[in-house]
Structure 1
Amino acid sequence: MSATFDEQTKLLATAINTVAVAFVILGVVTPLTAVSFGVASAPPPSPWTAFFAAIWLCAGASLHLLARRALRSLKP
């Protein structure tokens, strides 16, 4: 493997992981923070809110695992 391939792979993994972090912040942290601070436009606490937060969390975790898989092609 060339150094260029390694750097492109690391860049791809970083981009995917950044999207994964954005998913978790958007779908889990933001609603939780809005509810805890009493923001008027916050979603009401309900099982559906928790369900959709879990979906966002799973999507973020899946993307993170995809980024880790991309890095497996790197050799020491």
Structure 2
Amino acid sequence: MVRNEQRKLSATYFNGAALAVMGVGGFTLIVAIAQSAQPAPAAFVVVVSCMWARASLHWPARRLLKGLEE
């Protein structure tokens, strides 16, 4: 039972980090659009990088939860 709780805590941590990275990517695009009518290509690079990083953090969380014991 303790092992399951530890796995859930680790999965929550990874998922929270993934959400934070996704927020940074979304916030970057919003700020870039607000500053100019046509955002710089660098803003899109940041957004794509953040989305890739989000997926990279989310998958370990899913793998941890697959290891839950009954």
TM-score range, shorter chain: 0.7 to 0.9
Q: Report the counterpart of residue 53 of structure 1 in structure 2.
A: 47
SS at 2:63 equivalent: helix
Work out the percentage of aligned pairs sharing the same amino acid. 32
Structure 1 segment 1-76 matched on structure 2, within 5 A: 3-26=1-24, 28-36=25-33, 38-39=34-35, 45-76=39-70
Q: CA deviation at 1:25?
A: 0.2
Which residue identity is paired with 1:23?
V
Tell me, yes or no, if the aligned pair for 2:29 and 2:47 is still in contact at 8 Å: no
TM-score, structure 1 length as denominator? 0.78
Aligned length: 69
Q: Note the C-alpha offset of 1:35.
A: 3.3
Does the aligned pair in 1 maintain the 2:18–2:57 contact within 8 Å?
yes
Give me the TM-score of the superposition, normalised by structure 2: 0.83
**CA-CA distance at 1:14 after TM superposition:** 0.2
Counterpart Cα distance in 1 of 2:63 and 2:46: 26
What stretches of structure 1 of length at least 5 have no aligned partner?
A: none
Which structure dedicates a bigger proportion of its chain to helix? 2
